[in-house]
Amino acid sequence: MYNNVFPYSYPQMAFPYQQQPAQAQGMTPPTIHADIVQVDTEQEAWNWPVAAGATQMMIAKDDSAIYVKSAYTNSQPTMDIYRKEEQKKAPDPTEYVTKEELAAALESIRTTRKTTKEEKTE
């Protein structure tokens, strides 16, 4: 008796079909290569030649700023400037009010208002 409707050379699928588990592939972050040019002044950064569609990163020789100049085909080049500033000190935690202190202060205001309203009604 002939039960198979597919030709003999046709690949046969075994039942039940078992799918092979996919192997986890590690994600590799992209590598970014940037040439950073040292310049003396902001004007020198503006004058630095940058090809259309490209971006050039520059840093002031005195480490006071970083310049990122981008040139576009149909418009004027732009430049983002990141200036270095003195690091701010962390705030003093004693200058802040705790939750408990705030709750107590609000409660004292509420009781004062209630007392004042009661005195006005009398």
Q: So what's the pLDDT on residue 30? A: 83
Cα–Cα distance for residue pair 69/79, rounded to 1 Å? 4
Amino acid at position 28, single letter:
T
Q: What is the pLDDT of residue 74?
A: 87
Q: How confident is the model at residue 8 (pLDDT cuts 50, 70, 90)?
A: low
CA 66 to CA 80: how far, in whole Å? 8
Where residue 11 falls among pLDDT bands split at 50, 70, 90? low
For 34, 38, 68, 73, 115, the CA distances from 54, given in Å and listed in that order, are 11, 18, 11, 10, 71
Region 71-78: mean pLDDT is 90
What integer pLDDT is reported at residue 83 of this predicted model?
95
Residue of 49, 55, 10, 52 whose CA lies nearest to 32: 55
Domains assigned to the chain? 33-85 (3.30.505)
Q: What is the pLDDT averaged over residues 40-49?
A: 95
Summarised one tens digit per residue, pLDDT across range 78-122 is 999 999 998 888 888 888 888 999 999 999 998 887 777 677 666
Strand pairing report for 65-70 and 55-60: antiparallel
